[in-house]
Copies of this chain bind each other. A is one copy, B any other.
Amino acid sequence: MAESVNIRLKGEMAFDIEIDGHHLMIDSAPEFGGENRGPKPKNLMLASIGGCTGMDVVSMLRKMRVPFDDLRIEVSGNITEEHPRHFDTIHIIYIIKGLNIPRDKVETAVNLSQEKYCGVTYSLRQSASITHEIIIEE
Task: Name A residues whose Cβ lies closer than 8 Å to a Cβ of B.
Answer: 1-9, 13, 15, 17, 19-22, 24, 26, 28, 32-34, 36, 38-52, 54-55, 58-59, 70-81, 83-87, 116-124, 126-128
Contacts and interface: CB of A to CB of B under 8 A. Distances in A.
Q: Which 10 residue pairs spanning A and B have beta carbons closest together?
A: A41-B51, A126-B126, A86-B119, A44-B48, A4-B76, A84-B122, A19-B39, A7-B73, A9-B71, A84-B119
A52 B42 contact: yes
Contact of A78 (B2, B51, B71, B84): B2
A123 B127 contact: yes
Within the oligomer, what is the number of copies of this chain? 2
Given A39-B20, A127-B126, A5 B118 contact: no
Contacts of A120: 41-42, 45, 86
A3 B119 contact: no
A50 to B, nearest CB: 4
B28 A55 contact: yes
B5 A43 contact: yes
9 contacts: A7-B75, A8-B70, A9-B70, A9-B71, A20-B38, A41-B47, A41-B54, A83-B116, A84-B121
Contacts of A1: 78-79, 81
